[in-house]
Structure 1
Amino acid sequence: MENILEVHDVYAGYVKDLNILQGINFRIAMGELVTVIGPNGAGKSTLVKTIFGLLKANQGKIIFKGQEITGLKSDEIVKLGMCYVPQISNVFSALTIEENLEMGAFISHGSLKQQKQRIYTMFPRLAERRRQRAGTLSGGERQMLAMGRALMLDPDVLLLDEPSAALSPILVNSVFEQIKAINLTGKAVVLVEQNAKKALMMADRGYVLESGRDRFEGTGKELLNDPKVGQLYLGAAYQDTRDEKSSS
């Protein structure tokens, strides 16, 4: 399967001469769901911000659809077919749901009726509350809106930075179901997650980062079953998985 996005030996950080990413390599094919896990400070969010042009790569290359995008700004990358949903501040609180969706299609010309209807079909709860201000929504609803807004331009690749952060277990399940549904439409999804077990269980492939490097790579199942990955990064979630197997 041909890769739609590739990261080659990328170094990047927030302070000059202090790289968080230390030669990261990453790839995703069209239609894949690839999750990125690892301990706090491993560089997970830094990776997707660098891919999306929010941080400048100090070294290495980022290739999207066969074109090098290293150094491009975010608005230029959006036009090429990639969107990003940050962990926080991902909706315009003072605007309604419908206005937020319209903001997501800021580079589109003409009527947005068809695009909005597509999002409302995918997220019925947003349709019911389309006139409601985003600031009054629950955490789960905000995540749905943030994803819906990113999908207004029908991107080929969607970058999600910890969408389950601070959500209740019920809402986490709902958001993950929506992420899988988005992936099943054929879009490539890069999922950065602290909820490692859930993320790996539904991922085609995964990466485990440590100290800014891609320490492990494999299918979601392989990483879940790897004792080194389990003991170092999954903790209780890894033990829960082993307990489930031993009791079945």
Structure 2
Amino acid sequence: MTNTANLLVVDDVHAGYIKDLNILQGINFRIAPGELVVVIGPNGAGKSTLAKTIFGLLTPNQGSITFKGQNIVGLRSNQIVQRGMCYVPQIRNVFGSLSIEENLEMGAFVRSGSLANLKEQIYTMFPVLKTRRKQQAGTLSGGERQMLAMGRALMLDPDLLVLDEPSAALSPILVSNVFEQIKAVNSLGKAIILVEQNAKRALELADRGYVLENGRDRFEGTGKELLGNPKVGELYLGAAYKADD
């Protein structure tokens, strides 16, 4: 199933948190360089479990995961980072006692040489971080923390960014800001896996999407196709949702 045109391929992966109890039950997933691919589904479907398994926080009990054509099953997360993948968790994604600038520097822990240019690129993308660069990260709003978490991950100049529920618990205005920033990061050529509860908004900006249910990939298609699929709309986008909303 591995395709050299794909940046990452997940093939028939079974994984979970307890031995012999798989949450993922045969997941298949792929993402090409520069794609923005969304993963949606009801609570308990396995969305965050998939993200953690891809990033090496969980080891599959069955199946394969290839990144840039190489098998990464069994690698530690720091080894996966060195290969060009970064993961931004939903919570505890910044060092609260450190300043914004120190958080960014921590993000480049495997890089050598000057970080000045990298930091300036992040500040250009997220201007609010520059104006508050000496401020403790723990004092930031939820939306600002998400920007910092993404900025810190981008300090490694990854080929693939895995975002786990970045809009969770944010106000509607902050949700819009975060989605705008995700699109801006993707426009730089970064492939993004976006695990998201805000299904409609996520699919509107996605190149492609997967709908998970009970640990399986039930639907796959472009963002537009999934938004227009009445079964997806009924089950995952709300009973009142219509494709032309």
TM-score (norm 2): 0.97
Q: Secondary structure at the match of 1:106?
A: coil
> Corresponding residue for 2:88?
85
Amino acid aligned to 2:46: G
State the distance in 2 between where 1:7 and 1:185 align: 24
Cα RMSD over matched residues? 1.0
**Structure 1 residue aligned with 2:77:** 74
The one-letter code sitting in structure 1 at the alignment partner of 2:44 is G
Paired position in structure 2 for 1:62: 65
Q: Identify the residue that residue 6 of structure 1 maps to in structure 2.
A: 9
When residues 125 and 104 of structure 1 are mapped into structure 2, their CA distance, relative to the original with a 3 A threshold, is same
1:17 aligns with 2:20: yes
SS of 2:7's equivalent in the other structure is strand
Shift of 1:2: 1.3
Matches within 5 A, 1:118-197: 118-197=121-200
How far apart are 1:242 and its partner, in Å? 4.0
Structure 1: gaps (5+ residues): none
**Bigger fraction of residues in helix:** 1
Task: Report how far residue 96 of structure 1 moved.
Answer: 0.1
> CA separation in 2, counterparts of 1:142 and 1:184?
21
The one-letter code of the counterpart of 1:97 is: I
Q: How far off its partner does 1:111 sit? A: 1.3
* Matched residue type, 2:223: G
Percent of aligned pairs sharing the same letter:
76
2:115 is matched with which residue? 112
How far apart, CA to CA, are the structure 1 residues paired with 2:150 and 2:61? Answer: 29
Q: For the residues of structure 2 that align with 1:44 and 1:129, how far apart are their CA atoms?
A: 33
Aligned residue-pair number: 242
Q: Return the offset for 1:191.
A: 0.2
* Counterpart AA for 1:150: A
Q: Distance in 1 between matches of 2:31 and 2:242?
A: 26
SS at match of 1:114: helix
